[in-house]
């Protein structure tokens, strides 16, 4: 009931590990897959080792809602190749998230990941506390990098969208026009929290990305809007920590979902969510989760009345 085909990737479940959480080693990836995930997205990997920002780099600001500024800390692609190869030796469906400072650097990292065995590439052009966000706020730059990479890569290419823009639809359409095989909606929201006693931002970097329960309705709205215009699959991401959240993303138009922040509860959450979705489908006489995709669009919302 939960099997999906995502741009040619045949997954046993629509639940995918989001980038930035647990996707740093084979052992952590295996834990997520063993819990029932359909695929794993790695931490964003760049051309060389990067330390990232100093602590505090992540804080819980409300129950189930976090703010982080990790700074794309990663081991670099040349060191990470070994983790990719080990994951593929154990047949883990693997999406490698990549970033760089130029199109050529993105390509170099992506090609090395593909050669090591990545099943798909996700490009991070939207991290709100790193320089890559400058790409994801511009439809022209988004189109250029996607087109450039698609001409060289053979595996599916997913684009992680930046919600901190005026019009996310035009950015997504640019990615689709460039040849993207799917989009991930959304990355974290730009945010800031200040300590009233020290009178300074709490995170060492200052601003950060907001994730978790508070952004779920925002992510649903973005997926809902994107589904109206895109022909390529949408991977919903943002604030999922229950089976109801996953069902809601599918009703809005998602073809798959990514879960990140909720893993603070443990990997068992995937098992719980999977059971909940399966029971929901059975209770409502659906044979597959694909049967509920976009159903919310069958209902007309109330139009704003004209002024006479």
pLDDT along the chain (308 residues), means of 10: 97 96 91 97 95 90 94 93 96 96 96 98 83 83 97 98 96 98 97 96 94 98 98 98 98 98 95 98 98 95 73
Assign 3-state DSSP to the chain and report helix, strand, coil percentages, each to 5. 40, 20, 40
Q: How many domains does the chain have?
A: 1
Q: Please tell me the predicted confidence (pLDDT) of residue 302.
A: 77
Range of the domain at 34: 4-52+74-189+210-298
Cα–Cα dist 122/100, whole Å: 12
Residue 199 inside a domain? The answer is: no
97, part of any domain: yes
Q: Treating both helix axes as pointing N-terminal to C-terminal, what angle do 139-150 and 103-116 enclose, rounded to 10 degrees?
A: 40
Residue 25 domain-assigned?
yes
Return d(Cα 248, Cα 254) in angstroms, integer: 9
Is 237 tagged catalytic? no
In a domain, 61, yes or no: no
What per-residue confidence (pLDDT) applies to 129?
59
The verdict on residue 273 lying in a domain is yes
| CA gap 151, 209 in Å, rounded | 31
Selected catalytic residue, list 22, 107, 121, 127: 127
Q: What is the CATH number of the domain that holds 100?
A: 3.20.20.70
Q: Is residue 39 part of a domain?
A: yes
Tokens coding 299: 């209902």
HSE at residue 65, side-chain half, CA atoms within 13 A, is 12
């Amino acid at each position: 009931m939960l099997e999906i085909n995502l741009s040619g990737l045949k997954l046993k479940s629509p639940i995918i590990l989001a980038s930035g959480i647990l996707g740093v080693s084979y052992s952590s990836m295996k834990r997520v897959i063993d819990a029932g995930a359909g695929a794993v997205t790695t931490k964003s990997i760049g051309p060389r080792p990067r330390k990232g920002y100093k602590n505090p780099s992540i804080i819980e600001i409300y129950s189930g809602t976090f703010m982080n500024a990790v700074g794309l800390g990663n081991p670099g692609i040349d060191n990470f190749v070994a983790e990719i190869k080990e994951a593929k030796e154990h047949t883990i469906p693997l999406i490698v998230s990549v970033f760089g400072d130029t199109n050529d650097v993105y390509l170099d990292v992506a090609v090395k990941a593909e050669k090591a065995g990545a099943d798909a590439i996700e490009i991070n052009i939207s991290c709100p506390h790193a320089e890559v966000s400058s790409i994801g706020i511009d439809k022209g730059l988004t189109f250029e990098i996607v087109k450039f990479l698609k001409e060289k890569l053979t595996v599916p290419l997913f684009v992680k969208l930046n919600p901190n823009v005026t019009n996310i639809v035009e950015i997504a359409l640019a990615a689709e026009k460039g040849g993207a095989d799917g989009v991930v909606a959304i990355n974290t929201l730009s945010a800031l929290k200040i300590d009233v006693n020290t009178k300074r931002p709490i995170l060492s970097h200052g601003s950060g990305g907001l994730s978790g329960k508070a952004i779920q309705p925002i992510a649903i709205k973005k997926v809902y809007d994107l589904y109206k215009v895109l022909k390529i699959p949408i991977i919903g991401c943002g604030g999922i920590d229950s089976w109801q959240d996953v069902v809601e993303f599918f009703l809005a138009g998602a073809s798959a979902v990514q879960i990140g922040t909720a893993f603070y509860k443990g990997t068992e959450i995937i098992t719980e969510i999977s059971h909940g979705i399966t029971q929901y489908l059975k209770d409502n006489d659906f044979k597959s989760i694909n049967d509920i995709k976009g159903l919310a669009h069958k209902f007309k919302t109330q139009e704003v009345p004209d002024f006479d």
